[in-house]
Amino acid sequence: MARSLTTDAPSAAPVLPARMWRLPGVYAPQADTRLLARALQREGVAGLDVLDVGSGSGALSVYAAHFGARVTAVDVSRRAVWTTRFNAWRAGRRLTALHGSLDALEGRRFDVLVSNPPYVPAPNPAPPARGAARAWDAGYDGRHVIDRICAAAPRLLRPHGVFLMVHSALSGTETTLMRLEEAGLRARVSERALIPHGPVLRSRQEWLRARNLIGPDETLEGLVVIRAELR
């Protein structure tokens, strides 16, 4: 059984880098990454097995490894896997970075699952199969990847394990909470932030307004971190 995840985090936390080395097309750490890192630090992960789903640059993986976690990172992008490995090597942190989907982890369980998945609603209902947009576009409702991770979380977590995920309020906060509760986890919003619309949202503001996802003069995006614990 996993130990309780209520240990206070170290007071002198490293600053999550705004920029990390990246191959072209790999997602750069941004406000959502930093918000999730803050939630991760509060868990106290020293000595625990942490899974970073959709590792991107590896910022969260390296961050968890700094605090003494045994980290496994997984991403469907080979470039992201190579980037994660390089950034871990550069930071002097040991971790395992795997290429593939969650199916590659069948049978394994972790104390903490952390994810910054693609979550931006997009006019195209099918998420891109390649290219940089694969890191943020997630279908018409922004939930193509979110729902898959929510469904997989119970089989990836040990008893009393914790799942942390960041996404936009545009993707349906209440829907995420409901899906996780239905899957057998206790879920709540642990962090919130408002940030200015970035280039992606600015480029599709008219489409978002037509769908009533944002107001006529709305220029701020709400971010949430969902914290769920396996019962």
Which strands, in side-by-side order, build the sheet including 110-115? 96-99, 70-75, 49-53, 110-115, 157-168, 220-230, 185-196
pTM of the model: 0.91
pLDDT band at 2 (very low <50, low <70, confident <90, very high): very low
Cα 95 from Cα 50, distance rounded (Å): 10
Q: Is the pLDDT of residue 20 over 90?
A: no
Token output for 118: 């693609």
Q: Is the pLDDT of residue 6 over 80?
A: no
Average of pLDDT values for 179-197?
97
Q: Is the pLDDT of residue 64 over 80?
A: yes
Token output for 115: 């994810």
Nearest Cα residue to 147 out of 175, 111, 112, 184: 175
- Whether residue 114 contacts residue 40, with contact meaning beta carbons closer than 8 Å, is answered with yes
Distance, C-alpha 131 to centroid of its chain: 19
Q: Which amino acid is at 104?
A: A
pLDDT at 129: 87
* pLDDT greater at residue 63 or residue 14: 63
Average of pLDDT values for 12-33?
79
Other residues' Cβ atoms within 10 Å of the Cβ of residue 125:
9
Average of pLDDT values for 78-82?
96
DSSP 8-state symbol, 130: S
Average of pLDDT values for 91-104?
93
Token output for 64: 């968890």
> Which three-class secondary structure state does DSSP give residue 142?
coil
Rama region for 176: left / alpha / beta (φ>0; ψ in -120 to 50; rest): alpha
Average of pLDDT values for 114-143?
94
Average of pLDDT values for 77-96?
96
Token output for 101: 């989907």
pLDDT, tens digit (0-9, with 9 covering 90-100), for 166-180: 999 999 999 999 999
pLDDT at 1: 33
Mean confidence (pLDDT) of the chain:
91
Q: Which amino acid is at 6?
A: T
Q: Is the pLDDT of residue 17 over 80?
A: no
